[in-house]
Amino acid sequence: MKSWYSKDFKVGVLGGGQLGRMLMQEAVNYDIKLCMMDKDPSAPCSRFSHEFTNNDILDYEAVLEFGKDKDVITVEIENVNIEAYEELERQGKKVFPQPSVLKTVRDKGVQKNFFKENNLPTPPYYLVENKAEISKYEQEFPFMQKMRVGGYDGRGVQALKTLSDLDKAFDAPSVLEKFVDFEKEISVIVARNENGEISHFPVVECQFNPEVNLVEFLFSPAQISEAIEEDAISIARRTIEALGMVGLLAVEMFVTKDGRVLINEIAPRPHNSGHHTIECNVTSQYEQHLRAILNLPLGSTKMLRPGVMVNLLGEPGYEGNVKYEGLEDAMKIPGVKAHIYGKAQTKPYRKMGHVTATAPLLQEAVDKARKVQEIVKVKA
């Protein structure tokens, strides 16, 4: 059998964005040959893959053709041609996360039903086909409306607080989720390999930018009670087990004001809420994903030091060739590490990079991260 580091063992990654790029940085350590496909010829991975195929991951033939000479196939974004992805599994390729997992996750309606069927706690919800159907539930506002498919990076999600918000509701198949009066949003990343070994990262806390529903700050470790920590970890582990999934799963959860932990949503790949693991944990989420899909022993997830991650988002009002104002000043702060994704063009709220600030104490890391957010501006 070919070993995973041999010259002709290739791992195919559908998607060539920043997650693929950080995956690549780790793959180099183990000489794992990652081959990326992305329809953008200047995608963040275009220069740093073992091979880069410039084609559309939503195209059936392209995905099938791409998979032909790969030994393992994975994704760095859920939105791939699922029929071709399934066909590759049928052909006997190792396809992780499995197509069945992607199908469960990409439709938020199916995802919610999956939680319910497996007794995984999640806020109550209705499934609606269109806007008109929403008025049936007018007695039960407020809701979060989440489009069942096609949402990404905060798009396709909005609050419907009162009936007057009905006008702006998406006219598409959606999940109507009872609005949760939460105290915190937390996330646990878990991994599982083919042997069934499961490993979780410490719980982190996410602070969203309410305007665009994107993670703005991430704190590691989360400031939560031990009971909530145990709950969150147990839920995350049960979720990956119930999915029977191989790979990395991010489980985003609410902590309600009365101390319950409820799943918000899940993502079966490296995740924004795990970027800090590069600096803060013995094994990063990227290395763990590779270990999982290659059925290698999972790495230690031990926290080395507290850290805070800030996304570097395109400043509203700017579009064009990117300029990073203040980046060099940020580099003067000890323990501040930037990750610039190599996107040539910025636009409002586009994820252009992130910064992780670490320190012996979380509060120091928070102070550094706030300073970074103050001084670094992504403009054009």
* 265 to 304: interface string for its own copies, x by CB under 8 A: -----------------x--------x----xx-xx-x-x
Q: Does 152 bind its own copies (CB under 8 A)?
A: no
Q: Does 127 bind its own copies (CB under 8 A)?
A: no
Q: Which is nearer to its own copies, 119 or 321 (CB)?
A: 321
Shortest separation between residue 116's beta carbon and its own copies, angstroms = 37
| Interface region with its own copies, contact rule CB under 8 A, candidates 87-95, 161-169, 206-214, 339-347 | 339-347
Q: Do 263 and 120 meet the contact criterion of CB atoms below 8 Å apart?
A: yes
Q: Which is nearer to its own copies, 242 or 331 (CB)?
A: 331
**Spatial distance between the Cα atoms of 114 and 222, rounded to a whole number of angstroms:** 27
Q: Is 241 annotated as a binding residue?
A: no
Q: Which is nearer to its own copies, 145 or 356 (CB)?
A: 356
Q: Is 146 annotated as a binding residue?
A: yes
Q: Do 172 and 203 meet the contact criterion of CB atoms below 8 Å apart?
A: no
Composition of the chain by helix, strand, coil, percent to 5: 30, 30, 40
Q: Does 2 bind its own copies (CB under 8 A)?
A: no
Q: Which residues contact 196 (CB under 8 A, 6 or more apart)?
A: none
Q: Which residues contact 116 (CB under 8 A, 6 or more apart)?
A: 122
* Number of chain residues interacting with its own copies (CB under 8 A): 43
**Spatial distance between the Cα atoms of 79 and 338, rounded to a whole number of angstroms:** 27
Q: Does 351 bind its own copies (CB under 8 A)?
A: no
**Of 1, 196, 258, 344, the one binding its own copies by CB under 8 A:** 344
Interacting residues with its own copies between 164 and 203 (CB under 8 A): none
In degrees and rounded to multiples of 5, residue 59 shows phi and psi of: -95, 125
* Residue 300 CB neighbours (<10 A): 11
Q: Is 185 annotated as a binding residue?
A: yes
Interacting residues with its own copies between 59 and 88 (CB under 8 A): none
Q: Which is nearer to its own copies, 153 or 329 (CB)?
A: 329
Q: Which is it for strands 94-95 and 33-37: parallel, antiparallel or unpaired?
A: unpaired
Q: Does 48 bind its own copies (CB under 8 A)?
A: yes
**Of 47, 68, 168, 257, the one binding its own copies by CB under 8 A:** 47
**Spatial distance between the Cα atoms of 101 and 81, rounded to a whole number of angstroms:** 14
Shortest separation between residue 12's beta carbon and its own copies, angstroms = 15
Q: Is 180 annotated as a binding residue?
A: yes
In degrees and rounded to multiples of 5, residue 13 shows phi and psi of: -120, 120
Provide long-range contacts, Cβ within 8 A and 24+ apart, for 88-95: 88/63, 88/64, 91/67, 93/67, 94/293
Of 378, 240, 259, whose CA–CA distance to 311 is shortest?
Answer: 378
Q: For the chain, what is the largest distance between any 2 Cα atoms, rounded to a whole number of angstroms?
A: 63
Q: Is 371 annotated as a binding residue?
A: no
The annotated binding site is made up of 108, 146, 177-180, 185, 264-265
Binding site for its own copies (CB under 8 A): 3, 5-7, 21, 24-25, 28-31, 47-51, 282, 291, 296-297, 299-300, 302, 304-305, 321, 323-324, 327-328, 331-332, 334-335, 337-342, 344, 353, 358
The annotated binding site for ATP is made up of 108, 146, 177-180, 185, 264-265
